[in-house]
Structure 1
């Protein structure tokens, strides 16, 4: 049922570095035709670091690990491409649906294919006012039981960052800052919260991955929190002001549930004149490059 591309399959068999990439950013995160341009750019960035990209999506009910250009074009341009978390995968497979994979679905399918390193932008997490809404991303629970290394720029800054860090601790998911003792805030280099561990080279990350195996630890993820460069982050004062306005607009318009995140992110893009999107892409590019270097260090073991 899992369709692994020939390139990815051969790379895994030869123990060459492979990096999993999600497809939600292609189908739902960017406007056309920029979405396809970015998808190709990210795959090219992985290749330039000497690794093989494995963009993941579900097409006609078949989970694909590694897409060719025609399949990438389909994800980018086809109407009706669904957004699939890991809970949606059995439904999509059984119904023959096509969809782009979120963090949780990408991590699960990558792990099933034998890929150990995954690059994304920012994780989902605990939403603001959790005590009222009980709204928490499925990313966290899935990462608590999936052995994969996720390179990300922290969690989306629209979320409750300290609550998310606490939840990750409770779930037993290891978190380390890459070259920093501060937890990044997606658009921001520093969310304002510390991390307990700092890793400074791809080789150090690979050593932690090997230690996870050697200890026969529970099958949980390693989160490598890689901050967006300070000169490419969204201006913190602009971020704080626009996010406060977005939260007020969300409450005023009665936006709830799954509609909250896309509403807030869209508000940030529109009211920062696209600066939040530029920071997002800068973070993703940096994460992809780092993930490829970590994958290379992992395969050298």
Structure 2
């Protein structure tokens, strides 16, 4: 039964992770992404609006075959009945090729098409959005849109530009960069600009195309791309910018990349800089088809004149011109079109393959940590990292032995990883020390945790990344958990000792209960010798005992157990504990304080989490509160406790990361030197965000979201002060 449940969680969890709202990811694409294999995004307006049937379908299939021949996975993007499909089946390709009611879907059209359940082909801009959504860096198309010809001669634009010059002329003497950009734009644009260009300016996806369609104003298009901050490079031996059907447009690219290696190097740099803009790689049409370029250009001029005479405007211009050009050239433009698309697919797939290898190599070098290369950090977290599959029932109780209605999702957890992520999102950069397997799950983990310092995480060949499956009730309580955590035992004393320099320079070291007891003893021995503050997060009631099996616990400064874990700590020390935990709040608080007292003989502070009853902070009394500041030396002190009620949560989605969020935010507040009230309030806000999120650490967690001042002081529940005898 458990095996069936967990298999279902894994399968359904992956599906839910891949199919997010209006987006549907084909299994071949999702598997390739998870394994860091090259994937190439392809648009579908060429199928729905670019070519007649059956040429559109055969070309689409040929392009996908070319991508596969280069050991990459094609991901043709299209909208089918209101769902954006990233990767199309054979049947879905055929449907789009034959369907007469297809919509040409750009960024502006996506909301309406999705809301109305319509079908259509995605343009460059919509395809870029879909590719960026799932992490596909390379997108291949025929040619991009641009600034339309003769737009500057339209009466409306003439009037607007005249007024703009009057206004900007007054401001030009200010020499403001923004004013200069506006002046330049007033000269450059014709008020008819493709959404492809603005999308390239705000979406970090690489577009491989045959340059700009020659029916457009190529000079103004290149200027507009520069204004948008788009890096443009011609592929091959020349910097000549191609004009779709011709390798020469009369314009020069700012840059040039000679081969897939140089292109991948450029792309990797662009993406790593976090510029939030795309890259355009312009690939000239194959030389054997370029000879027909002059004939096609003459046909374009004729088609343009006819289009203007017929009053055709907007997004209908391009397909009408292309159709007319095909007629005038007796099919030669269609042949050239297909040839350049085939060539782009080959080049783009080769670039994607090299880029994938470079990314894998970089991640491998990050995982293969060498201590001498690392800089000192003030927080170190040692603990587990898991891939979590969460099944949430839609009822208050779950019936085993039968199918229960529920929802499924995949997330990334592990107590150590959760705390490290929480600290990272709150403005710190803790070094996280852990291990994973050298498998596809670890690829997904490293990709998700790229905002963290994972230089202390090593992939181990022949091992499986820790996996945790949980079945929770409607209100978020754990009903069943199953974990494959054996790899955590490989976070050994010998492994962690590689990072002794970082441990010695740290302000705070956090240990989670998943690591071996011998590793905990090793870190505690260093802490004792060098007066380092160590925070212990017990993880669960069975693992809470690990530091207390020896005198290692006496070197801890902080611990954050729940009441059951606190009982385990006392019981391990041979102290009396109740067999049944009390129910009333008064009895719960009394027990928490009583069980904390013997541990505070050596620990600086205990943070006892009580679920819906909030948290009790126990430690040294200081000015009517508990002193949370890092301990400098042990001394005799007067002890007290503060009980903080929990913050209300509208709906519990997941309870697995609330305690870790609380602990991580408390640590952040302590390191920042905040007072006790501020630290605890930060922790409570972080815990509330976690409870309302399907992820252990809420993605929206930030320094602003846990700022205590964002909630009026009178709205905070008052803490209850208690003396500890």
Q: Same fold (TM over 0.5)?
A: yes
2:233 is the counterpart of 1:163: no
Tell me by how many angstroms 1:30 deviates.
1.4
2:278 is the counterpart of 1:228: no
Comparing 157-166 with 256-265, greater Cα deviation is found at 256-265
Q: How many residue pairs end up in the alignment?
A: 300
TM-score when normalising by structure 2: 0.41
In structure 2, what is the Cα distance between the partners aligned to 1:166 and 1:290?
A: 25
1:28 is aligned to 49
Comparing 114-123 with 257-266, greater Cα deviation is found at 257-266
User: What do residues 207-248 of structure 1 show as CA deviations (whole Å, max 9, x unaligned)?
Assistant: 1122123333x2111100000012112523313322222222
Contact 2:102 2:121 in 1 (8 A): yes
In structure 2, what is the Cα distance between the partners aligned to 1:112 and 1:29?
A: 25
In structure 1, what is the Cα distance between the partners aligned to 2:322 and 2:124?
A: 17
2:295 is the counterpart of 1:274: no
In structure 2, what is the Cα distance between the partners aligned to 1:80 and 1:247?
A: 26
Could you say which structure has the greater relative contact order, defined with CA pairs below 8 angstroms and 6 or more residues apart?
1
3-state SS of 1:90 partner: helix
Match 2:245 to one of 167, 170, 187: 187
Q: How does 1:1-301 map to 2 (within 5 A)?
A: 1=21, 2-131=23-152, 132=154, 134-179=191-236, 180-216=238-274, 218-233=275-290, 235-301=292-358
3-state SS of 2:311 partner: coil
Tell me by how many angstroms 1:14 deviates.
0.2
User: What do residues 25-82 of structure 1 show as CA deviations (whole Å, max 9, x unaligned)?
Assistant: 1111111122211111110100000000000011111111011101111111123121
Contact 1:187 1:234 in 2 (8 A): no
In structure 2, what is the Cα distance between the partners aligned to 1:278 and 1:178?
A: 22
Tell me by how many angstroms 1:189 deviates.
1.2
Comparing 29-38 with 185-194, greater Cα deviation is found at 29-38
In structure 2, what is the Cα distance between the partners aligned to 1:255 and 1:78?
A: 23
TM-score when normalising by structure 1: 0.96
In structure 1, what is the Cα distance between the partners aligned to 2:272 and 2:61?
A: 36
Structure 1: 4+ residue segments shifted above 3 A:
none
Query: Residues 97 and 251 (structure 1 numbering): CA distance in 2 closer, same or farther, change over 3 Å?
Result: closer
In structure 2, what is the Cα distance between the partners aligned to 1:242 and 1:98?
A: 32
Q: Which runs of 5+ in 2 are unaligned?
A: 1-20, 155-189, 359-725
Contact 1:234 1:275 in 2 (8 A): no
Q: Which runs of 5+ in 1 are unaligned?
A: none
In structure 2, what is the Cα distance between the partners aligned to 1:98 and 1:267?
A: 25
In structure 1, what is the Cα distance between the partners aligned to 2:320 and 2:48?
A: 17
Contact 1:234 1:279 in 2 (8 A): no
3-state SS of 1:183 partner: coil
In structure 2, what is the Cα distance between the partners aligned to 1:266 and 1:78?
A: 18
